[in-house]
Structure 1
């Protein structure tokens, strides 16, 4: 299954699987959003799977947001695991 990214202003709803094949596309979309907005919201409620490439892209974009004094909020089922991964890698 592919990844669908629905956008409404600074809100990005992800539907499908976030994998190596589409992680770079998501990175481009989120980086573009961070140029326009101070806060970006990513809804992963309808994401059925995220591989390590997807997790790494979200972590990378999160770090870029922090470096630019901007923020990313991740909402939806499974975001606690993603939150823990991001905090572990950001603290290092």
Structure 2
């Protein structure tokens, strides 16, 4: 399945697969997003799989929210790879 990104105001839904082949689509969608919104909610409930490129793209978005003092909420269970990445980051 391809990557689908839908949104209503500042609530975005990510559906499908986020990987090396389509990470540029994700990055283009969220480029300068914190210039438009002070808070952002990202639902990964329908994310079927993610590779390291996708995890890094989400981590970069997270880091950008911190540096720009904006709120980023990632909601939904998503997939285990993403959960394990952020779990290991917080433990370090």
Which bracket does the TM-score occupy, shorter chain normalised? 0.7 to 0.9
Does residue 19 (structure 1) correspond to residue 12 (structure 2)? The answer is no
Does residue 47 (structure 1) correspond to residue 40 (structure 2)? The answer is no
CA RMSD of aligned residues (A): 2.2
By percentage of residues, which structure has more helix?
Answer: 1
CA positional deviation for 1:87: 6.2
Count of residue pairs brought into register by the alignment: 92
TM-score (norm 2): 0.83
CA positional deviation for 1:19: 0.7
TM-score (norm 1): 0.83
Runs of 4 or more off by more than 6 Å in structure 1? none
C-alpha separation between the residues in 2 aligned to 1:87 and 1:67?
20
Pairwise mapping of residues 76-91 of structure 1 onto structure 2 (< 5 A)? Answer: 76-78=76-78, 82=82, 85-86=85-86, 88-89=88-89
**Runs of 5+ consecutive residues of structure 2 not aligned to the other structure:** none
